[in-house]
Amino acid sequence: MIVRPPQHWLFMVFTWRGSVLSSILPRLGLNLAFALLVVALHGWFEGFGLHLSIGPFSLMGIALAIFLGFRNNTSYDRFWEARKLCGGVMVHTRSLLRQAIAMTGRAPDDVRIVHFAALLQAFAFALKHQLRQTDPAADLARLLPAPVAARLMTAQFVPAMLLRELGLWLAEERAAGRLSEILWQSLDANLDRLSDILGSCERIASTPLPYAYSVLLHRTIYLYCSLLPLGLVDSIGLLTPLISVFVAYTFMALESIAGELETPFGTEPNDLALDAICRTVERTLLEMTDAPQLPPPLQPDAQYILT
């Protein structure tokens, strides 16, 4: 995720990092080359009586803008829902640990509470690794006792197995008489909310926008941007390459941004900062258990990217 202080409007015009310009620059170059070719051959086309009015391109551009708006709204909805789900992990892990400390009567630094907090931290990190399809072994080994970590490393759905471990912890406290039926149900309800978050994140990660719709929009954008110089050259002449590239940049950049936001759990500059979110969960849960030292919060790198 790009995290940078507010910029002057002039600097914003020339911002490169996070603007998706680097990914579409070759395509803009092709559009510019074709527009220059159209301008150079304009007189030759006129000899054949070939003329294209800007009218059809105006109508098509309005329709294309509407379709792109729908695509961007849909992608941003996925991004924002994913962000709220990640925030829910933070909220419900804090609530679970607070309830575990208050309702069992154990001290915050009690070994059982520390283990419960470690399971909650491991859940956040395991969820991140599952969504990004990376190996959670290092974080599991760092956060959990060796036997528990070794058992979980063989699982296919590690976050779900951690929810089971958390449920067993609550069952043990209930069997020991530290949790009444009502209190146990209250804590189990927060576990259910974590399970809902897990399922919702899996839904977003495994269900992209319909491929046929993406292909249709992609083809229409590139066909429109390729033919646009032919419609502009009669009316604006030498300015055709400039206007054509500007319009192509707008449409191509919007499509590229929508593509990044559609998969919010990745590692691209505009994706969610899952590493930083997990570190925040770890820090806040450690503080609640009176840990003597907290890991430092993650900061954006030199390119203002927070992973």
List pLDDT tens digits, range 25-77: 888 899 999 889 888 887 666 655 556 667 777 778 888 888 888 888 989 99
Residue 4 domain-assigned (yes or no): no
Q: What CA–CA distance (Å, rounded) separates 256 from 238?
A: 28
pLDDT at residue 10, as a whole number: 67
In the numeric block, which tokens belong to residue 53?
Answer: 């009015």
How far apart are the C-alpha atoms of 301 and 278, rounded to whole Å?
17
Q: What pTM value is reported for the model?
A: 0.88
Any idea which residue has 């319909």 for tokens? 210
| Segment 254-288, tens digit of pLDDT | 888 888 888 899 888 888 999 999 999 999 999 99
Looking at residue 61, what is its pLDDT? 80
Q: What is the pLDDT at residue 47?
A: 59
CA angle, residues 97, 80, 6, in degrees to nearest 5: 100
Q: Classify residue 2: in a domain, yes or no.
A: no
pLDDT at 11: 67
* Mean pLDDT (whole number) for 281-298: 93
Average pLDDT value for residue range 196-216: 90
**What pLDDT is attached to residue 194?**
95
Question: Left if phi > 0, otherwise alpha if psi is -120 to 50, otherwise beta: which for 263?
Answer: beta
Q: Are 126 and 139 in contact (CB under 8 A)?
A: yes
- Partnered with residue 2 across adjacent β-strands are 305
303 domain residue, yes or no: no
In a domain, 193, yes or no: yes
pLDDT of residue 212: 85
Q: Is residue 198 part of a domain?
A: yes
Q: Is 94 domain-assigned?
A: yes
Boundaries of domain holding 98: 9-288
**Cβ neighbour number for residue 62 with a 10 Å cutoff:** 10
pLDDT at 164 over 70: yes
Say if 243 falls within a structural domain. yes
Residue 303 has pLDDT above 80, yes or no: no
Decide if 229 contacts 38 (C-beta within 8 A): yes
Query: Is residue 302 a part of any domain in this protein?
Result: no
* More confidently predicted of 305 and 114: 114
pLDDT at 146 over 70: yes
Centroid of chain to Cα 101: 33
Q: Is the pLDDT of residue 16 over 70?
A: no
Tens digits of residue pLDDT in 211-240: 888 888 888 888 888 888 888 887 778 888
Segment 85-109, tens digit of pLDDT? 999 999 999 999 999 999 988 999 9
Structural domain tally of the chain? 1
List of residues 6+ apart from 255 with CB closer than 8 A: 68, 71, 217, 218, 221
- The pLDDT, as a whole number, for residue 9 is 61
More confident residue, 6 or 131: 131
pLDDT for res 123: 96
Q: pLDDT digit string (tens) for 114-125? A: 999 999 999 999
With the C-alpha atoms ordered 123, 124, 125, 127, is the resulting torsion angle positive or negative? positive
Q: What is the pLDDT of residue 229?
A: 87
